[in-house]
Amino acid sequence: MSFEGKYNAKSPAVKRLMREAQELHEATEEYCAYPLEDNLFEWHFTVHGPPSTDFEGGIYHGRILLPPEYPMKPPNIILLTPNGRFEINKKICLSISGHHPETWQPSWSIRTALLALIAFMPTPGNGTIGSLDYSTEERQQLAKRSLKWQCDSCGKIAELLSKDAAKKPITEEEQHMLDTIALKAEEVSSTENSFASNTENITENGLRQRGVQVLAANNQTQEQLEVIVNPQVETMSSSNDLFWTILIASLLSGIILLVLRRLFLV
């Protein structure tokens, strides 16, 4: 890394980011992230779609923007690869959720943000700003296409992740964070820009037009805004996938049963 001359190496934020760059230096099979050559406050990342979800097999690329106050203020994430869960080219940030007023902690890091992103992908978008609720088929199709996706500065993203490096275990603290955090788009006035580029992208992909309408509706109802539901995020480590899938399925069927009973037995 050649930042030494460019930044004040004594500034805690610069020191911290250099350390994080060092820590994330080696790609794992789950994620990789690094600062741009000429800007320590902008990073690019690549994450693997979580297994046993709509995003399985997909590889997604994006930018991380660090505010000058980092780590006192949270990083912003921008996805670049179409994925069907988050709008692309739109800032999403680790933010408070409606149910647990949890805020960014300076002791979290870029790794934390990436883990949160991965964990948050399979959760329902629920019309939250910056969220998309594409169908499983559409997401799987996007996941397949993502392997061919290229970044202007990083090249073919499919080659960025490691094939064999085991993922670092998630600590207790991180698990707690994943249980309580919510990701949502920042309400920026540049909504229209990203809206436009999104429209372009979706039509380009020839996938569908409906997403655009959803988006437009989203923009108009900005006032009503989102209720951020805070699902207990299932961080699926491959060993207990099955357990969670079964648990969720049985819970869901239980709820459906209760609803049906209520509807028909009254």
Partner 1 sequence: MEDKRSPQWSSENTDVNQDELILQQQRRIEREISESIALVGEKESLISLELEYAKDEVYLAKTKVLGQKYSYIRRTRPDGNCFFRAFSYAYLERLIDNKEEYEKFRELALKSKDNLVALGFPQFTVEDFHDTFMEVIDKVGGDSEASRLELHKLFNEQGYSDYVVVYLRLITSGQLQREADFYQHFIEGDRTISEFCHQEVEPMYKESDHIHIIAMSTALGTGVRVRYMDRGAGTEVTAHDFPEGALPTVHLLYRPGHYDILYP
Interface residue list for partner 1 (CB under 8 A) = 11-13, 15-16, 19, 23, 69, 71-72, 96, 98, 100-109, 112, 171-174, 176, 180, 187, 189, 191-192, 219-220, 222-228
Let me know if 154 is a catalytic residue. no
- Select which of 32, 93, 151, 154 is catalytic: 93
Please answer whether residues 225 and 129 qualify as being in contact, where contact means their C-beta atoms are separated by less than 8 angstroms: yes
Q: Check the CA dihedral 156-26-82-87 and report its sign.
A: negative
Question: Shortest gap between Cβ of 85 and partner 1 (angstroms)?
Answer: 20
Residue 105 or 237: the one with the smaller Cβ distance to partner 1 is 105
Of 10 and 262, the one with the shorter C-beta distance to partner 1 is: 10
Q: Which CA distances in Å does 213 have to 38, 84, 118, 202, 220?
A: 38, 14, 26, 11, 11
Cα–Cα distance, 53 to 30 (Å, whole number): 14
CB of 104 to partner 1, least distance (A): 7
* 8 Å CB contact between 66 and 45: no
For partner 1, give the closer residue by CB, 89 or 191: 191
> What is the rounded distance in angstroms from the CA atom of residue 163 to the CA atom of residue 28?
8
Active site residues: 93
